[in-house]
């Protein structure tokens, strides 16, 4: 028997959950700040080649580090950055440096 539950949120409820979640992540980051990922890790992240735990670490870091977020957007490229901001699927790059 498949008993899945669907939860429908209003925009206000979603916004509240998002803000609360980011607040929790900020506390986690401030308690255990992560160093900037090296270039190889950031490229692997953009290309979709990292395992789950390094992805979580890079996600958490780039949310709060303007420099790494800027590097991430530059590696992602303008088309994928536009897709990301529109909420569309980002296409992993074959070689982000080309």
- Any domain includes 92: no
Average pLDDT over all residues of the chain: 82
- Any domain includes 36: yes
Q: Give me the number of domains the chain comprises.
A: 1
Distance CA 33, CA 27 (A): 10
Token pair of 91 as six digits: 């296409």
- Any domain includes 93: no
How deeply is 76 buried, as exposed, middle or buried, from its count of CB atoms within 10 A (0-12, 13-18, 19+)?
Answer: buried
Across residues 84-97, what is the average pLDDT? 69
Give the tens place of pLDDT for each residue, 27-43: 877 787 788 999 999 99
């Amino acid at each position: 028997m498949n008993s899945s539950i669907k939860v429908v949120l209003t925009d206000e409820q979603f916004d509240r959950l998002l803000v609360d979640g980011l607040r929790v992540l900020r506390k986690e980051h401030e308690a255990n700040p992560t160093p900037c990922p090296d270039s190889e890790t950031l490229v692997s992240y953009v290309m979709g080649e990292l395992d789950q735990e390094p992805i979580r670490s890079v996600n958490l870091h780039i949310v709060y580090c303007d420099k790494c977020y800027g590097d991430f957007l530059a590696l992602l490229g303008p088309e994928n950055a536009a897709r990301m901001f529109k909420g569309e699927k980002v296409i992993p790059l074959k070689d982000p440096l080309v």
